[in-house]
């Protein structure tokens, strides 16, 4: 194992290794104040999310391990592309679990998503309604922090000693403006909340809600990280991103899982020896066909689950259900 690897892909918790991370490059150092206690990610959650925590480590190709560690050293987001089922989202959870970075903050992108959705939300209407019920004069309550909740990206940028893990999932589904809107936040590691900036002379410190259910103090309306988050941005390759965003990220292309990775995945979910027991199905999954379609790994897991269930392998082999479950996804139909 290379000595420089902070994340080693063992699948076992080793939170002390993050302390071996050297100082950031001068141009990627931040000065956020304060600290934030983050909830840990437990092995049960990791397994549900597709991680490999049953005594079977994730099997990474060398270039994946190297790019993950380069992102940690350089304090840069990791832009991960690949077919569905290649483990893009799972990568963030595996790194967070092994290095003890806490629960992964997840920001799922759709066509209507804006940058502000990821940074914070301000419930002005709720504040007004509560004020009317409390006093009857319609004046907003002074406790504005109760009505501000940081989004996943905003929470990841709260100052903490360890980098917070953030998954920005399927950025290629976003509106055309969002990748460009992300540039300054990812480069500067900070953002401001105008509603708090306006009252900073009267309330320099405001306690607000966070995306992971906590509370944190924001000073003078400014959120700035101390340790830059470990950010995984996933894409299914449905569009190209602007060069300015690509320059600020490290690019990682994940290939479909090989036989060793699939065997480890099956063992993690169903127990040791299950990869050999279902060897025929695994070979069928890996062989694919000539349509160019993708085979997400969860298709194989679904089929094995049914084979292990009450119906049993014999009943399923006599039907066309397994054929339907293992059918590749036609790239022409997304």
Asked whether the CA dihedral 215, 217, 220, 224 is positive or negative, the reply is negative
CA dihedral 309, 313, 317, 323 (to 10 degrees): 50
Which tokens is 43 given?
């092995």
Task: Name which of 299, 301, 295, 227 is nearest 269 in CA terms.
Answer: 301
Residue 294 DSSP class: B
Query: Which residues of the chain, if any, have pLDDT below 70?
Result: 1, 33-59, 135-141, 288-295, 310-323, 328-334
Distance (Å, rounded) from C-alpha 70 to C-alpha 97? 18
The reported pLDDT for the residue numbered 307 is 78
Structure tokens at 259: 């036989």
Question: Per-residue pLDDT tens for 170-205?
Answer: 999 999 999 999 999 999 999 999 999 999 999 999
Strand pairing class (205-209; 215-219): antiparallel
Q: In this predicted structure, what is the pLDDT of residue 316?
A: 59
What per-residue confidence (pLDDT) applies to 49? Answer: 47
List, for residues 242-295, the tens digit of each pLDDT value. 999 999 999 999 887 778 878 877 877 787 788 888 888 888 788 765 444 556
Q: At 147, phi and psi to the nearest 5? A: -110, 10
Instruction: Look at residue 117 in the predicted model and tell me its pLDDT.
Output: 96
Residue 287, CB half-sphere, CA atoms under 13 Å: how many? 6
DSSP track, 65-130: HHHHHHHHHHT--EEEE--TTSSHHHHHHHHHHHHT--SPEEEE--TT--HHHHHEEE-HHHHHHH
Cα Rg of the chain, angstroms: 23
- pLDDT, residue 55, reads 46
Q: How far apart are CA 52 and CA 46, in angstroms?
A: 7
Residues 6+ apart with CB under 8 A from 204: 219, 220
């Amino acid at each position: 194992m290379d000595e420089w690897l902070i994340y080693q892909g063992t699948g076992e918790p080793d939170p002390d290794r993050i302390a071996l991370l050297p100082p950031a490059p001068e141009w990627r150092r931040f000065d956020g104040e304060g600290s934030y206690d983050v909830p840990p990610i437990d092995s049960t959650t990791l397994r549900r999310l597709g991680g490999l925590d049953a005594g079977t480590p994730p099997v990474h190709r060398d270039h994946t391990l190297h790019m993950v560690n380069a992102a940690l050293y350089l304090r840069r987001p990791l832009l991960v592309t690949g077919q569905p089922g290649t483990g893009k989202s799972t990568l963030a959870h595996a790194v967070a679990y092994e290095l003890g970075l806490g629960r992964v903050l997840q920001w799922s992108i759709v066509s209507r998503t804006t940058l502000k959705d990821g940074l914070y939300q301000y419930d002005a209407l709720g504040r007004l309604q509560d004020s009317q019920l409390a006093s009857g004069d319609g004046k907003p309550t002074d406790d504005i922090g109760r009505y501000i909740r940081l989004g996943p990206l905003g929470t990841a940028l709260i100052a903490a000693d360890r980098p917070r893990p953030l998954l920005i999932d399927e950025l290629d589904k976003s509106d055309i403006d969002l990748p460009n809107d992300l540039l300054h936040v990812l480069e500067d590691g900070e953002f401001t909340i105008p509603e708090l900036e306006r009252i900073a002379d009267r309330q320099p410190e405001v306690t607000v809600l966070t995306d992971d259910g906590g509370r944190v103090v924001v000073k003078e309306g400014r959120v700035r990280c101390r340790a830059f988050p470990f950010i995984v941005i996933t894409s299914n390759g449905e569009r190209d991103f602007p060069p300015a965003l690509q320059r600020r990220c490290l690019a990682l292309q994940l290939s479909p899982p090989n036989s060793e990775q699939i065997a480890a995945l099956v063992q993690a979910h169903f127990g040791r020896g299950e990869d050999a027991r279902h060897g025929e199905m695994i070979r069928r999954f890996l062989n694919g066909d000539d349509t160019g379609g993708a085979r997400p790994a969860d298709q194989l897991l679904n089929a094995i689950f049914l084979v292990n269930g009450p119906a049993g392998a014999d009943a399923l082999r006599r039907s066309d259900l397994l054929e339907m479950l293992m059918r590749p996804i036609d790239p022409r139909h997304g």
